[in-house]
Amino acid sequence: MGMAQGNEKSDGQNRTLARQHALGDLPRRTALRVPDKVAIVDGDTRLTFAEFDDCIERTAGALAAAGLVKGDRLALLSHNCWQFAVLNFAAARAGVVLVPINFMLGADEIAFIVDHSGAVGFVAEDALVPTADAALAAAGDAQVRVRAVIGAGAEGWTDIADWLDYDGPAFTVAVGDDDPVRMMFTSGTESRPKGALLSGRSLMWQYVSCVIDGSMSADDVELHTLPLYHCAQLDCFLGVDVYLGATSILLPGPDPATVLRAIAEHRVTKFFAPPTVWIGLLRHPDFDGADLSSLRKGYYGASPMPVEVLKELQERLPDVQLWNFYGQTEMAPLATILGPEEQLLRPGSAGRPAINVETRIVDDADEPVAPGAVGEIVHRSPHATLGYYNDPAKTDEAFRAGWFHSGDLGYFDDDGVLYVVDRKKDMIKTGGENVASREVEEAIYTHPDVAEVSVFGISHPRWVEAVAAAVVAREGVELTAEDVIAHAREKLAGYKAPKYVVVVDALPKNPSGKILKRQLRDTHADLAAGDS
């Protein structure tokens, strides 16, 4: 399929097209450089970059033929698959705003996203069609006029295979640097999720930061196991791999045994996972016998890496360089990076601002504070979101004083290295004293029998809030709440040590590996009942 309609554009559109470097352009340009190199491996499906780009071009044409125009929103509900990767770039090529949806959400939650985003198209994996049907009925069927299914057919849904076989007229769409191409919904930990709009400019500069500060290259073979609906896997890693011409191996999830086998089978060189997944690999009985000799680059993010786990990773994977990526959805998502040379020199740090990011710490009056002083982390960068869709009040609040406000608390040391203390909402205020949950977690992780821990605040009749911890024991050992509390008191001031500890089989997590502290707070809200 060619670009036959370019002469019908206005002079301004032609200039935009001639200067364009947009998300949808990347697969085509990579295919021109390395057409026969493997781009995507998903089970038995292997696509070269030429084949991948052909799928994208046909799907973009099918979206236009279905009536989707520049600026329309297309919701996508699916586990990781090669069709997800195609749709990500096809929507961008057509000027359509992709709205990836968490496949763990219920119908009512999805209905909110569909309604709030104004989506007029919806693509769902076959196994998720019943949930999608219920969500669309709740949102109002008339709004969503284009529906397609990945996998087995479903009544009322177009088979996405028809889009992949589309052979209609060629077309071009001029996509400007600040045109939105993605609407990413935040996790909604404090209220209803917000739709953060990302432009091509946000993503492209973020990719450049990842490449430079994350030492990424075209010869990488990367394993993708975290959900692609999450911006970290999609935009710090998959998008960058396509940009560079690296090979991407897709798995539906981060099952430890499957991950270890895949690294060996595909000679994977690069892998990203949150600390919870790295911990799961270290604890798996197959870890020591797995052939991980190809692995050279390891990345973590989404939550802080416990220092004791970091040390264990470097001992058991001595040939793997590690990077900590810190950021959030609204930063597309990268903000700062801790590189391999500083992992053990500055354990627990979020590193330094990425090359295209400026970061400072401010007080409640938005004035910068001195090194060592805790304040809110704010950024200036082309990575930053365009704003929250249909929410000018929250957008204005986030961008006050000309900086994007992260909602995280932290400080810079004298060398300009960032330490994240906590989310504002996770700071525990007990008896008038502030306690950072992360500091308590780090202390508990030094207990030899602790596999995982999460610290959170609960209501207390005397202290207003009390420090509580949920702990998972290492396999095969006995661990009591009293053991954990005594250990914490040896490491911390008395008011910081947890007053309540529950030993659990597993911590609740979302599909991207983040521990759900809100769920822990709700589940264990009555721990202090009867105390005074």
Confidence label for 190 from pLDDT (cuts 50, 70 and 90): very low
Please give the average per-residue pLDDT across 450-461, as a whole number.
91
Q: Give the pLDDT confidence score for residue 495 in this predicted structure.
A: 83
Kindly report the backbone phi and psi dihedral angles of residue 185, in degrees, each rounded to the nearest multiple of 5, phi listed first: -90, 130
Q: Is residue 228 part of a domain?
A: yes
Query: Rounded CA gap, 124 and 148, in Å?
Result: 7
Q: In this prediction, what percent of the chain has a pLDDT beyond 70?
A: 96
Q: Is residue 10 part of a domain?
A: no
The range of the structural domain enclosing residue 91 comes to: 51-175
State how many domains the chain has: 3
Would you say residue 6 has pLDDT above 50? no
Residues present in the chain in total: 532
Q: Give the pLDDT confidence score for residue 340 in this predicted structure.
A: 96
Mean pLDDT rounded to a whole number for the chain: 92
Tracing tokens 């125009």 back to the chain, one arrives at: 69
313 and 395 within one domain: yes
Written as six digits, the tokens of 475 are 């396999």
Please give the average per-residue pLDDT across 418-436, as a whole number.
78
Please tell me which residue, 171 or 35, carries the higher pLDDT value: 35
225 and 161 within one domain: no
Query: Rounded CA gap, 64 and 458, in Å?
Result: 52
295 and 412 within one domain: yes
Give Cβ neighbours of residue 426 (< 8 Å, ≥ 6 apart). 437, 456, 457, 517
Please tell me which residue, 296 or 528, carries the higher pLDDT value: 296
Q: Judging by beta carbons within 10 Å of its beta carbon (0-12, 13-18, 19+), is residue 142 exposed, middle or buried? A: exposed
Q: Is residue 5 part of a domain?
A: no
pTM for the structure as a whole: 0.84
Please give the average per-residue pLDDT across 173-197, as a whole number.
85
Q: Is residue 8 part of a domain?
A: no
331 and 343 within one domain: yes
Q: Is residue 387 part of a domain?
A: yes
211 and 139 within one domain: no
Q: Give the pLDDT confidence score for residue 531 in this predicted structure.
A: 83
374 and 298 within one domain: yes
Confidence label for 421 from pLDDT (cuts 50, 70 and 90): confident
Query: Rounded CA gap, 40 and 176, in Å?
Result: 28
Q: Give the pLDDT confidence score for residue 189 in this predicted structure.
A: 42
The H or E element containing residue 418 is strand 418-423
Which CATH number does the domain housing residue 386 bear? 3.40.50.12780
Query: Rounded CA gap, 459 and 393, in Å?
Result: 30
Taking alpha carbons only, the member of 184, 259, 274 closest to residue 222 is 259
Of 386, 401, 424, at which residue does a domain stop? 424
Query: Rounded CA gap, 269 and 284, in Å?
Result: 20
Kindly report the backbone phi and psi dihedral angles of residue 428, in degrees, each rounded to the nearest multiple of 5, phi listed first: -95, 125
445 and 347 within one domain: no
- Beta strand extents in 80-125 (DSSP E only): 97-101, 121-125
Of 424, 443, 475, at which residue does a domain stop? 424
Query: Rounded CA gap, 25 and 32, in Å?
Result: 11
55-69, 101-115, 272-286 — which one is most confidently predicted on average? 55-69
Determine contact, residues 86/52, Cβ cutoff 8 Å. yes
Kindly report the backbone phi and psi dihedral angles of residue 93, in degrees, each rounded to the nearest multiple of 5, phi listed first: -65, -35
Q: Give the pLDDT confidence score for residue 320 in this predicted structure.
A: 98
Of 395, 424, 453, at which residue does a domain stop? 424
Give just the sign of the alpha carbon dihedral 366, 372, 373, 377: positive
- Give how far the C-alpha of residue 357 lies from the chain's centroid of Cα atoms, to the nearest Å: 18
Q: Give the pLDDT confidence score for residue 305 in this predicted structure.
A: 83
Q: Is residue 327 part of a domain?
A: yes
Q: Is residue 383 part of a domain?
A: yes
442 and 420 within one domain: no
Which CATH number does the domain housing residue 496 bear? 3.30.300.30
Q: Is residue 14 part of a domain?
A: no
Would you say residue 66 has pLDDT above 90? yes
Q: In this prediction, what percent of the chain has a pLDDT beyond 90?
A: 79
Tracing tokens 């900590």 back to the chain, one arrives at: 324
334 and 465 within one domain: no
Would you say residue 532 has pLDDT above 70? no
413 and 468 within one domain: no
Query: Rounded CA gap, 179 and 193, in Å?
Result: 22
Determine contact, residues 22/92, Cβ cutoff 8 Å. yes
Query: Rounded CA gap, 448 and 474, in Å?
Result: 8
464 and 417 within one domain: no
Q: Give the pLDDT confidence score for residue 169 in this predicted structure.
A: 85
Confidence label for 431 from pLDDT (cuts 50, 70 and 90): confident
**How do 121-125 and 146-150 pair as beta strands?**
parallel
Which CATH number does the domain housing residue 116 bear? 3.40.50.980
Please give the average per-residue pLDDT across 262-269, as a whole number.
98
Query: Rounded CA gap, 124 and 149, in Å?
Result: 5
78 and 218 within one domain: no
Confidence label for 424 from pLDDT (cuts 50, 70 and 90): low
Written as six digits, the tokens of 157 are 């849904």
